[in-house]
Structure 1
């Protein structure tokens, strides 16, 4: 990780990244406890780590990384994302949106607000995403 990414990630943790990563972690644990939610738990855990340290990484469609379609990027992934949206996606996206608005009020917080808005989009539709270095 480059020094600029390290600095931005440290500032990110202080300005809302830690509590949103905790929200993703809670969603992952709740999904894992239900047993049938294990596919969502895996995605939520991966994005919890990404939410904690987003600078220096980016989220892309998994089929763009591997070059082939899989369960998460096909029709079952669509159904999984719809179920995710109803169960947890909307409230995680709302948390990112509220944090983004609070950060956007300050000039210094605008880059972090933008990152929260990107994470809000991921919160709505996480299945089939892969986290790769930027």
Structure 2
């Protein structure tokens, strides 16, 4: 069943279940159709349960639609995940360059305070490429 059909069912009182993997598509459609009540329901759920969604999809939606509350929920989730990665790294079960992501978040927070706005994903992408350790992550590997 396609996304549009499911959304139209909402007009007739049906309850639909949106798979978490398809939240991005549904959110884009309801934003386009300007269905503010459904947009609010989806936004609130994404903010409340950010840990259950794909963080990259949420951050793309937050950036594209300038949704600061979704973006803040993503930052909170990244901070929680960083703690978990540090804990596992100490147990030597997971080896990941968390310092890189920590730097990106700290840089974002500093720029947000200085410029009173978030930075775009293109800028974050450039920061990752600029500051990554070439021995661990080359530009070709990143892409």
Fold similarity call, TM over 0.5: no
- Considering fraction of residues, name the structure with more strand: 1
What TM-score comes out, normalization by structure 2 length? 0.28
Structure showing greater relative contact order (alpha-carbon pairs closer than 8 Å, 6 or more residues apart): 1
What TM-score comes out, normalization by structure 1 length? 0.30
